[in-house]
Amino acid sequence: MIQEKETLFAEELINKEHPTEHKTKSKNPIAKWFQDDYNKFFLVILAISFVIRIIVYTKTKTQAVWWDAADYLVSAKKWGLGLNTLDLWYYRRGFLWPLIESAFFKIGLGELSIRFTIVLLSTGIVLATYLLISEMFNKKLALLTSIPVAFSWIFIFFTGRPLTNLPATFFFLLALLFFWKSYMKNQGNKYYILFGLFFALSALIRMQYLMFGVAFLAIAIVKEKYKFIFNKGLWISILIFALVMIPQFYLQSTKFGNPILDLATYYLGIGGSSSGEVGVQLAKFSDLFVYFNNLPYILDANQSGYSTLFVLSPLYGLFIMGFILFFADLFLGFDKIFKNQRTQKKFFIFFWTLSAFLFLGYIAPHLEQRYIMPIMPFLFLITVYPIYLLTPHIKKKFKLESRTIMLVASIALIILLIPNYNAGMNLIDSKKQGYQEIKLAGEWIKANSNPDDIIIGGSLPQLSYYSERTAYPFHLAYRRDIEQKGEKELNEFILENRPKYFSISIYEREKDWAFAYPNNNQGLLIPVQAYGSQQQPVLVIYRFDYSNKEALNKLRS
């Protein structure tokens, strides 16, 4: 109880330090916002974060897109440019992000503008973090939390990749902000509407974010017990959410039947889907903790990617201290959870993080740090919490102004995060040339083929994206919901459809027969372009020679 009282006293002392949050000279809300010292400090952090992301943009704007990004871009280009190519879209995915990307292609802006939009949204996550933590706690803690978000290697690295995670996280943090304003602080029905809207938009970009509905339900039960069922505002949010999600559920139902049952089957392994697919196998118990074990690396990229909870780094050490200090009153005063708003707030953050880590361990035990982006503002809040509690004691001891304290604390935190920044930039540089040969191959095929030509090749979405041609993989299953075939079926497809090129590279783990196919069909496949060294080519493009009757007869046999 002594530790609990000390923590509460420190928080109360800090809360008295925010005169600029209450006393401002102007009645204009915009001018009022800019008069606040914490807001001024934050604008500097926001500017720094934007500069960092512009540096990332200049490093990565011409690099080849990898599989996951191309999976969305290929459909975006097809929709935006009206290409008569194969429909590679996977209908379990939210369609909003490729729809937004398609608009860029439609108006002639293209990939560079999409990449710059990622820069803006990544910077927007820093802003959303500041607004959210300000609403939940105060601006001092929000300012400190925004700094590691700005310098995080995860946000830095993935700013250079046009994936769905950053856009979805931006929309989702805004949804969480509006949830807090509406349900937790009762600031008006318009925020209930915005909560439902932005939660739906984030899910339409990344369906995985539906998992956070459990955390919203948990805090509703803790706040109101069963009475939340009668909360009209929440029903407004649910209605808005459902209306926005109608197009997604309709499209999904055309391929997989009942979308709710299909999602439960595919992502949770419950029941059976109409397609017969099961996306998630029962996870091993140890898999549930892979994201917990990776926490040191998530917080500090200088740690090994396989680090465990028992490996300490400066940031992870702060996180351990912050975890104890931040959740002390939750664990010691859990009996007050239905009455005390401070306890409910910390329960929400604890449950939010715990449930998300366990769920991700269940559906993605292969470990993808980008999946935990919506949780990271709270991880960094816990990390900076010891610094936050320390500042009023330093102010009192050295008789310093609040501005000076915040300046010193911010600079110290930035210095601590410089290795994290360097690690993110080094990771970008080390991956910059990846899949470059696929990009060059696709561009070469586009320049040496007609729009109606067909390609057989690996790295399907990238090859399709850069060539703007219909491409089939060697096993011919161009979407996840299509059954894979073998060499016999490929032979039949070639005889019937007469593709023009065959492209194969060392980037993908193809079947042995796919790598052996050019050698076994030398009369049919003529090498026309290669990338890499002469002794060890990375990618080879072959042209089909249908004038070779002997090779065609061999294919028929």
Beta strands 501-505 and 454-457: pairing type?
parallel
The first and second tokens of residue 372, run together, are 């935990």
User: Per-residue confidence at 238, pLDDT binned at 50, 70, 90?
Assistant: very high
Sketch out the chain's domains with CATH numbers: 164-281 (no CATH), 436-556 (3.40.190)
Q: What is the mean pLDDT of the chain?
A: 89
pLDDT at position 59: 96
Say which residue, 181 or 5, is predicted with more confidence.
181
Please, are residues 502 and 525 in contact by the beta-carbon 8 Å criterion? yes
Q: Per-residue DSSP letters for 314-354? A: HHHHHHHHHHHHHHHHHHHTGGGTTT-HHHHHHHHHHHHHH
In angstroms, what CA-CA distances link 1 with 7, 95, 380, 392? Answer: 10, 51, 26, 21
In angstroms, what CA-CA distances link 293 with 268, 298, 318, 324, 523? Answer: 22, 10, 16, 18, 53
Question: Angle 111-136/376-398 helices, nearest 10 degrees?
Answer: 50
Say which residue, 531 or 272, is predicted with more confidence.
531
pLDDT at position 3: 45
Reduced to 3 states (helix: H, G, I; strand: E, B; else coil), residue 131 is helix
pLDDT at position 28: 75
Cα gap 74→102, rounded to integer Å: 9
pLDDT, mean of residues 165-175:
97
Q: Per-residue DSSP letters for 170-197? A: HHHHHHHHHHIIIIIT---HHHHHHHHH
Beta pairing partners, 527:
542
User: Per-residue confidence at 11, pLDDT binned at 50, 70, 90?
Assistant: low
pLDDT digits (tens, 9 = 90+) for 174-218: 999 999 999 999 999 999 999 999 999 999 999 999 999 999 999
CA-angle at 329, arms to 5 and 128, nearest 5°: 115
Percent residues over pLDDT 70 in the chain: 90
* The pLDDT of residue 310 is above 60: no
Half-sphere exposure of 503 (CA within 13 A, CB side): 35
Q: Residue 400: what are its φ and ψ, rounded to 5°?
A: -100, 155
pLDDT at position 168: 97
Say which residue, 231 or 286, is predicted with more confidence.
231
pLDDT at position 534: 74
pLDDT at position 19: 44
pLDDT, mean of residues 440-460:
96
pLDDT digits (tens, 9 = 90+) for 34-82: 888 899 999 999 999 999 999 999 999 999 999 999 999 999 999 999 9
DSSP annotation of 536: S
pLDDT, mean of residues 502-531:
93
User: Per-residue confidence at 398, pLDDT binned at 50, 70, 90?
Assistant: confident
pLDDT at position 400: 75
pLDDT, mean of residues 374-397:
91
User: Of the ranges 247-256, 268-277, 284-293, which one carries the lowest mean pLDDT score?
Assistant: 268-277
